[in-house]
Structure formats: structure tokens, C-alpha cells
Amino acid sequence: MGNYALSAQGRNNLESFSQQIHGAVGVEPGKQFAVTPAQVQKLFEKAVEDGVPFLGKINSNVAVTEKIGEKIGLFVSGLVAGRTDTSGSAERKARSLHSLEKFGYELRQTNADVALKYSIIDQWKHVAGGEFAKLYASAIRMAIANDRLRIGWYGTSAADTTNPVANPLGQDVNIGWFQKIRNEAPEQISDGEITIGVDGDYANLDAVVREMKDSIDPIFRNDPRLRVFIGSNLISLAENKFYSVGGDKPSEKRHLDGGRLLDTYGGLQAETPPFFPENAIMITFYSNLSIYRQEGTWRRSIIDNPKKDQIEDFNSFNEDYIVEEYRAIAVETNVVAFVPA
């Protein structure tokens, strides 16, 4: 194919956008610049607004200063109520609100490099320069936000050179939450197959969730903040079973067993987060899942590359995926429907 000739309006939009971005930070187009903390915060807030609300529920933008350190999440590590007779030599003792986990964090550089073809820019040439900037920024935010969640669920390693063809879900970009549990608290996760259905290991999802709760430390087990995250295929399996019995009345399709809403399993409110693995179930708090980011490490460079008929947006930042308190999480990764032999 020959070179693509960017239209005059497309070129004008691109140059206006470049001036807006680089002028704000005082650097020439094509030069690398640091993304300020305020801009990073806005990026994550806008990503939530753009359609990734789950990132707003968890701790997806925890800023830390050091590359290696201790977790900073606050979780009650035991009973804090009590009494001490101080009439003698005994003193009252303050109990820690910080997790007693021995594991900390280690941030790794992540590169988020995207390209936008001139031909796509021309598809937007009918919009004003300001609107082009909004469309472009939204596309970049969504790309980064979606990848952060994919890596969180599927990441198992941090390769020196990643392979997106062999690892399309970011398995080799960073160590995500599931793998962190395998590495640091294997008793809280099971990869062995369990079946649900008549003659299966469990009758239904409710039974699975109720037993999984027993793996949660008693101090957290009945906390009203607990949620259960369930793979979409398992939700569909439960709904299909209900619909086959409940008939076609809309009022019946909204409920399971005595008026309990479909989005409640084992007594816990259920949700399927974006890109959450099929066949998986996780019980925890939203605030127990964190993504740590090192302050001052986000670097960005936007380059107009006519040799490839595209603009290229290079981003890098240091991140790590953290489970703040392993006693407050339980995971099954291989829940399947029972199939009679």
C-alpha cells in the first residue's frame, strides 16, 4: 500500500491537538514529558466516567513514593475493643489498623504504547479540533483502563519483553491479583475443578459461595462490605436454569427462590467485573483490590510518524497489583457445570 495523504482538516485537528497537549507542559512536539499527578488523577477519573466504573470501586490509583515497600491498605487486623486495668503497671495497648501481611509491593514498569492511523484521524475530520482531542483522549483512556483490568485478572508474570500474540490478555505484563494470591497465600485460592448441578460437587452457585465464605477469616466473614465476583458464564448458567423452571412471566424472571434477586448468591451481592475470567468466583471487598502507582514515574511521548502514516502515543508508568489483606479473600478459578458421564 502507498502512503496515506492526511486531509487538510485532519492535519489541522492533529496539529491543534498536539499544540494543546505539548503547550500545556511546555515541551516541543515529539519530546517526552512527565504526566503530572493531577493529570494522572484526571485520567483515571475520566476512565471511570467513560465506562469502567469497576475501577472506581476498587483502589485503582494508589500513589506511593517508593518502588518497593509495605502495603498501605488499612484493614483491622483483629479485635480493637477491650479493657485494661491500669491501676497497676499494665498499660493500654493500641491495636494496629494496618494489615499484618509480611508481603509488600514491588512496582514494575508498564508501557502503554498506542498508534492511531491517519486514515482513522480523517474519519474524525468533520469534528472540531476540541472534539477531536476529546475523542482521542477517551480512546487512550479506555485502552489503558481495559488493559489494567485484564492484567489484574490474568497477569502471571512480568517478562522483559512481552508477547501480545501469545498472551493477548496481558498474562506476561505484570503479576495480577489471582497470581499474587497463588504466590503469597495459596490457601486462599483453588484452581481445582469443582462442578455444580444435580449430582455435582455443589447443587448451585449459592452452595459454592456459602462454602467459600468459610475460607474468609472470621473477623471479615460477615462484614457487609463483602461482595462476590462471578464469571459471566456461571451467571448465565444459573439464569438459564431459573428461566427453564420459572416460565416467561417478567416478574418471575427477576427473582430466584422466594424473591431473592438474581444478583445475590450465597447471601452476597454479586457482580461480574469487566474481563473477569469465566468459571471463576472471588469473594472479597472492593477495597481489598489495589493497583499501586509510583508517583512521578508516568512518562509520555506523542510522535507524528509519517513513515507509518500514524501518530504514536508512548506511555510508561510503574505499577503493581495488590491484595491488601489475604485473610479477606477467597477464590475458585475452575467452577463448571456438572456433565453426567
Encode 245-261: b = buried (16+ Cβ within 10 Å), e = exposed: eeeeeeeeeeebeeeee
pLDDT at 257 over 50: no
- Reported as a single tens digit per residue, the pLDDT across 117-133 is 999 999 988 876 578 88
- Find the range with the poorest average confidence among 38-52, 84-98, 215-229, 305-319: 84-98
> Contact 291/143 with Cβ under 8 angstroms?
no
- Reported as a single tens digit per residue, the pLDDT across 170-197 is 999 999 999 999 999 999 999 999 999 9
Tell me how far apart the alpha carbons of residues 242 and 297 are, in angstroms, rounded to a whole number: 50
- Find the range with the poorest average confidence among 12-16, 59-63, 159-163, 286-290: 12-16
Angstrom CA distances, 215 to 125, 195, 205, 271, stand at 56, 18, 16, 20
Structural domain spans, the chain: 8-68+101-175+291-322, 187-289+327-337
Within 10 angstroms of residue 223's Cβ, the number of other Cβ atoms is 12
pLDDT at 207 over 50: yes
- CATH 1.10.8 for domain 187-289+327-337, yes or no, is no
For residue 48, the model assigns a pLDDT of: 86
For residue 90, the model assigns a pLDDT of: 75
For residue 256, the model assigns a pLDDT of: 43
Q: pTM of the prediction?
A: 0.87
- Whole-number percent of the chain with pLDDT over 90: 60
For residue 221, the model assigns a pLDDT of: 94
Tell me how far apart the alpha carbons of residues 112 and 108 are, in angstroms, rounded to a whole number: 13
> Contact 265/230 with Cβ under 8 angstroms?
yes
Give the amino acid at 329. I
For residue 75, the model assigns a pLDDT of: 64
